[in-house]
Structure 1
């Protein structure tokens, strides 16, 4: 469970609703199903027009995972690579063929398989970087869907408000209802602007941050496999790959040297 996402959304909604109540309003004033239908339907339709249907479906499924996500730290991946380096140093790179069946990460599995097959480090890097680039390009479409939706929804909300005003203007003979009708008409604008700034655009930003972190860990994996193939010392590999971890996660691998002459 992503506590930050849940608390952030709850805090944003609570602030808006409490502000409404403090100003003398009530929740019923902004509960307009027709306004929600206009904004939701119009925004979804515009996004489906811009992106392939499969991409839109994947994006909306990913929206539910926005609140339930376990961020990878990289520590497990680092220790796994160091263990592979130790085994390759003792028994040779070919000995890692026995470990392929236990590797669950498809990216690491393919990189190790190429290494075991005797692929040159430069060629292995080219192949896996191309795979990483293509995967990143496909994954980038998911936050782009929410960014586009965040751009469309305020405009769709304005369309809903104008439609509501058209209906109000047709009943000017009941002047006492004009004010209430105008207030109801602007609810669609609230839905459009609120959805964009409280949910859609923040979701796009968080998904993009997660994507960058996941791609960085794949880069760490690639560097680890290439270092193993080049015969680098496992201790040096651990230090090298530790730079991909955050400062709070990186752990010193050995004793700190004492400066000579220190008091």
Structure 2
């Protein structure tokens, strides 16, 4: 678990609720189901409208990475790369076929190209195309949360206007004015609060995770190119050192 994300979320909520309480407000006043429905349902409806279903679904599934990020592969990957390099140098490129049982489809594809004797430059071009496709799909999914952050405040304002319309329709009945005004103001709080305390931080965190994964794929491209070119293991070891140095 990423405790920094958990603590950050706790601090954000604590600051909001404690500040509200210190100012004399009541926690119950922030609980408005109508405002929540307008902002949350409206926001995700707008995001789904601009995205295809697969991207939207992927973005929702990626949310768990905020608190449970993918396990770091830097150390095991560096050991695998060193093993590939020494094996290829000692026993030839065909010997790499024994390492193709990995579950990582990208690594399997790279090793297959090396074993099949595809030219180093062709390997690089093909894998770069593969990485570009992966990066585009992952970034589009992460941007689901950025899009939510963009729509949420505006839909909060829409909720506020709807609440004021409700107030104006019931000026003759003072007992119903309070609920309409509450929906109006709480909708704005929900819209701005969700955008800045949740959606935007979620999106930025996911983009950072995607960038780290893409950086590892890009390094693998160079590793496969070096191995296919017959470069000395020292060259590959330097690339491994750069992988471990990036945190």
Q: TM-score range by the shorter chain?
A: over 0.9
Separation of aligned partners in 1, 2:139 and 2:219: 20
Secondary structure of 2:38's match? helix
Separation of aligned partners in 1, 2:9 and 2:245: 26
Partner of 1:196: 195
Partner of 1:31: 31
Question: What is the correspondence of 1:1-263 to structure 2 with a 5 Å cutoff?
Answer: 1-101=1-101, 103-175=102-174, 178=177, 181-246=180-245
Unpaired segments ≥5 residues, structure 1:
250-263
Maintained 8 Å contact 1:150/1:195: yes
Separation of aligned partners in 2, 1:37 and 1:244: 45
Per-residue deviation, 1:177: 6.2
TM score, norm. by length of structure 2: 0.94
Maintained 8 Å contact 2:78/2:243: no
Per-residue deviation, 1:111: 0.5
Maintained 8 Å contact 1:2/1:70: no
Maintained 8 Å contact 2:226/2:235: no
Maintained 8 Å contact 1:125/1:226: yes
Separation of aligned partners in 2, 1:70 and 1:62: 10
Larger-gyration structure (1/2): 1
Maintained 8 Å contact 1:154/1:193: yes
TM score, norm. by length of structure 1: 0.88
Per-residue deviation, 1:171: 2.2
More helix by percentage: 2
| Closer/same/farther in 2, CA of residues 175 and 99 from structure 1, 3 Å limit | closer
Q: Deviations over 1:225-244 (max 9, x none)?
A: 21112222223311233223
Per-residue deviation, 1:170: 2.0
Q: How many residue pairs align between the two structures?
A: 247
Maintained 8 Å contact 1:2/1:68: yes
